[in-house]
Amino acid sequence: MTTDVPLTSLYQDLILDHYRKPRNRGTLPDATVEVHVRNPTCGDEIRLQLLLEDGVIADLRFEGEGCSISQASASMMTSLIRGKPLPDALALGSRFTEMMHADADAATDGSLRDLRALAGVARFPVRVRCALLGFDALREAARQSAGEAP
């Protein structure tokens, strides 16, 4: 008798866990940069706050409303990038974007950790924007912290 649980079921459980119990959700009073992004297609929203210290994401929080994909993805992203230099966090965002555009190598990239659970979203183009919303916010935060206009 086998007790193997299908990988897709484990991934679904992980996504639901991040959606129901989001990590790093809330406000960050001492944030050095704050951005708000919205998916115009579905209305999902993410507000991302970062505390940057010498180019490193020392702390971060997010708030948002939307589907389980956008909110779970933001939770996974914040868990992954805390403590990382901003360029490294942006590189992870690029790798995640590759995965969302059906790059098979990116889908097996261990550096994405929990975000790999969202690889199946690539089969649903309408939902890809939902999954990328958190990293859209991160890219906008990086632009703002560099003094670039939105």
The per-residue pLDDT for range 85-110, each reduced to its tens digit, is: 999 999 999 999 999 999 999 999 99
> For residues 127 and 120, what is the distance between their CA atoms, to the nearest angstrom?
10
Nearest-CA neighbor of 115 among 88, 78, 77?
77
Pick the CATH number of 7-144 from 3.20.20.70, 3.40.640.10, 3.40.140.10, 3.90.1010.10: 3.90.1010.10
- The whole-number pLDDT of residue 29 equals 97
Q: Is the pLDDT assigned to residue 5 strictly greater than 50?
A: no
Asked if the model's pLDDT at residue 71 lies above 80, the reply is yes
Q: Structural domain boundaries of the chain?
A: 7-144
pTM recorded for the entire structure = 0.92
CB within 8 A of 8, min separation 6: which ones? 120
Read off the pLDDT band of 148 (50, 70, 90): confident
Lowest mean per-residue pLDDT among 70-74, 120-124, 132-136, 139-143: 120-124
Please compute the mean of the pLDDT values over residues 140-149 and round it to a whole number: 90
Provide the 10 A C-beta neighbour count for residue 112: 21
